[in-house]
Amino acid sequence: MALTGVLRPGHVQIRVLELEPAVKHYRDVLGLKEMARDPKNKRVFLKGWDEHDHHSVVLREADEAGLDYMGWKVDSEATLKKLAGDIDHSGLCQDLEWIPEGEHPETGERFRFTIPTGHVMELYAYRKIVGNGCGTDGDDMNPEPWPEGLFGIAPHRFDHCLLYGDDLDGTVKLFTEVLGFGLAEQVTAGPEGKLMIGAFLTCANKPHDVAFIRQPVKGKFHHASFLLGSWEQVLRAGDILSRHKTSIDIGPTRHGITRGETIYFFDPSGNRNEVFSGGYTYYPDKPVITWTEAELGTAIFYHDRKLNEAFLSVFT
């Protein structure tokens, strides 16, 4: 299918309590590549090995852990302007502003807005392409399947976030009716199953690019997820995390929702990470998969079919 409009998740900026322990975790254990530093704003920029754009993960030292914002790459400057106008006219968002070119290194101007669940989102059209290290002298001529020198877990790319917030209905309306996302899966509750308590949204052909869970909070961060190539690599990630004495939350296991194979763990500031593989191909004509609250254990943890309360209640 032709991808237009919003192409993919482009970046996530995560607040960490101490920058250097966080960099060690994301660079040396998770295996992202450090690309740049911003000493003035206490930020470090990183990327997965198979991402061609300059960066996708930003760590910012702060007094409280959590999510600063999530960014989305769009297909053109014209689309950026159009969607900015559409968001403004929708009346669904607050705190609309333009972030100037260069505030992120090698990145054009960004349009920032706060969605109904209280999360800050951004759209942008340009980021310098630096390649994935598989080509010849930086181009894509006769590439190798992977670069030399991978280390740590070495995910292919930043993939998605799961976020907690109160106004799930307004956020789903924004993503589906204004930004053009599809609803791949949902979780429902209530006597007649009409209350949506979870939404898994996609802008491409993945099971989800972002997911939201209804909670009586604003702007909370459950996890950032990174893609691996196989179930075997997820198991290997568990070995690496144990070797580095990283706090493991759940897994390795499988989801019912999205069919992904997964392991969850924490960075030194308490932010949850996930690495996963698998899933299915989504197309816009695919029926929405619905999970009921009664089967939420199976939906989240397919192998043991039981809910883990800490998994649901711990977030930053």
* Pairing status of strand 6-16 against strand 289-292: unpaired
55 is catalytic: no
Instruction: Report yes or no: 141 and 95 within 8 Å, Cβ to Cβ.
Output: no
Query: Which of 54, 55, 119, 208 does the annotation list as catalytic?
Result: 208
Please give the backbone phi and psi of residue 142, each rounded to the nearest 5 degrees, phi first: 50, 55
Strand pairing category for 260-266 and 248-254? antiparallel
C-alpha angle 315-11-177 in degrees, rounded to nearest 5: 85
For residue 17, count other CB atoms closer than 10 A to its CB. Answer: 16
Catalytic position from the list 55, 104, 222, 223 = 223
Q: Has 282 been annotated as catalytic?
A: no
DSSP character string of 94-140: EEEEEEPTTSSTTB--EEEEE-TTS-EEEEES-B-B---S-SSTTS-
Cβ proximity of 62 and 16 under 8 Å: yes
Beta carbons within 8 Å of 42's beta carbon, 6+ residues apart: 19, 60, 61, 62
Active site residue 25: no
Report how far residue 203's alpha carbon sits from residue 41's, in angstroms, rounded to the nearest whole number. 31
| DSSP string over 29-62 | IS-PEEEEEETTTTEEEEE-TT--BS-SEEEEE-
Omega within 30 of 0 (cis) for the link into 116:
no
CA distance 252 to 272: 15
Question: What gap in Å lies between CA 254 and CA 241, rounded to an integer?
Answer: 18
Q: Quick check: is 223 catalytic?
A: yes
119 is catalytic: no
Distance CA 44, CA 36 (A): 6
Residue 156 designated active-site: no
Q: What is the residue type of 27? A: R
Q: Which among 160, 164, 261, 282 is annotated as catalytic?
A: 160
Which residues are known to be catalytic? 160, 208, 223, 255, 264, 274
